[in-house]
Amino acid sequence: MDNKPALSVVLIVMNEEDALRECLETVSWADEIVIIDSGSRDRTREIAAEYTDKVYVEDDWQGFGVQRQRAQQYVTGDWILMLDADERITEPLAQQIRQAVEMDDRQAVYFVPRLSWVFGRFIRHSGWYPDYVARLYPREQAGYNDNRVHEKLVYPDSMKEKKLAGDLLHYTYRDLEHYLVKSAHYAAAWAQQRQERGKRSSLLQGMLHGLGCFIKMYLVRAGFLDGKQGFLLAVLSAHSTFAKYADLWIRQQSDHQ
């Protein structure tokens, strides 16, 4: 009888036909792949079905956290590797993941260094690298909270946090339009979440946070070493920061009508 621990790769996707195949190719060695589709209108589900028979549709969107919780319910493996369609597992990282699963320390959560490709270049400064994210964890010991955006993996304080070597490549934005659309969705989700919690905002607050974001990324975290992409990223991040506070402020004005 084989008691070898099994690894399940989990993705939540929507309209990812351009990116999904490249992502799944880098994890085709996993014991199980589970994919939750949030209502794609392209060939996403068709591509997913080439790699796994565990493709499910959950199209009543309630946020990233809830969607990841739903995905985890379909998993049968001992270990979960949570991925996004715009990410790629490098071979050095794959080896580290396989070793960690084989060790089978169910009291450990593993963080991986994420290296992002933005507008034609890998960003190695700007506070973006190494961007350690918790992605490999024992199924029965951890899971995601229900945040609409910026969801987090939660687990007992007693669990060890370990870091793996080898980069997780993140091909974040196809172009500027993709950035702006994605940023607007995040801003709306963030504002809705804050509004539901009774939080308030002002335009001045948004300006100050936006300015602080630019200074931190470009100067404090040496974004200038990322060239023109570093400058553009800092400006866009400042804009995105302002936008989410502005969105919350606009919602407050609607409440007063």
Angle at the Cα of 139 (from 134 to 144), degrees rounded to 5? 50
Q: What is the DSSP letter of 4?
A: P
In a domain, 63, yes or no: yes
Residue 85 lies in a domain: yes
Torsional class of 9: left (φ above 0), alpha (ψ -120 to 50), beta (otherwise) = beta
Provide mean pLDDT across the span 232-236: 97
pLDDT for 257: 56
Instruction: Tell whether 166 and 180 lie within a shared domain.
Output: no
Q: Is residue 2 part of a domain?
A: no
Q: In terms of domains, do 184 and 59 share one?
A: no
Residue 66 and residue 137 in contact, taking contact as beta carbons nearer than 8 Å: no
Residue 190: give the domain boundaries.
Answer: 175-255
Q: Report whether pLDDT(194) > 50.
A: yes
Say whether pLDDT at 117 is over 80.
Answer: yes
Q: What are phi and psi of 139, to 5 degrees?
A: -55, -40
- Please say if the pLDDT value at position 2 is more than 90: no
pLDDT tens for each residue of 12-55 = 999 999 999 999 999 999 999 999 999 999 999 999 999 999 99
50-70 pLDDT per residue, tens: 999 999 999 999 999 999 999
- Among residues 177, 173, 84, the alpha carbon closest in space to that of 120 is found at 173
The answer on 187 and 140 residing in a single domain is no
Question: Which residue type occupies 16?
Answer: E
Higher pLDDT, 28 or 257: 28
Task: Check: CB of residue 206 under 8 Å from CB of residue 153.
Answer: no
- How many domains does one find in the chain? 2
Looking at the fold, whether 26 and 111 belong to one and the same domain comes out as: yes
Q: Does residue 82 sit within a domain? A: yes
Of 147, 172, 197, which closes a domain?
A: 172
pTM for the whole thing?
0.87
Q: Is residue 96 part of a domain?
A: yes
Domain closes at, from 172, 198, 226: 172
Residues 129 and 196 grouped into a single domain: no
Do 149 and 220 share a domain, yes or no?
A: no
Q: Are residues 146 and 228 in the same domain?
A: no
Tokens 């793996």 -> residue: 164
Average pLDDT for 187-209: 93
Whether residue 1 lies inside any domain: the answer is no
Residue 211 binned pLDDT confidence (cut-offs 50, 70, 90)? very high
Q: Any idea what the CATH number is for the domain that residue 162 is in?
A: 3.90.550.10
Please, which pLDDT band fits residue 90 given cuts at 50, 70 and 90? very high
Q: Are residues 179 and 62 in the same domain?
A: no
34 and 137 co-located in one domain: yes
Q: Are residues 124 and 221 in the same domain?
A: no
The predicted-structure confidence for 137-180, as pLDDT tens digits, reads as follows 999 999 999 998 889 999 999 999 999 999 999 999 889 998 99
Residue 114, SS3 per DSSP: strand
Residues 124 and 188 in one domain: no
Indicate whether 61 and 164 sit together in one domain: yes
> Which residue has 């302002």 as its token pair?
242
96-121 core/surface letters (b: 16 or more CB in 10 A; e: else)? bbeebbeeeeeebbbbbbbbbbbbee
Instruction: Count the helices and strands in the chain (H runs, E runs).
Output: 7, 12
pLDDT at 1: 43
Kindly state whether residue 246 falls inside one of the protein's structural domains.
Answer: yes
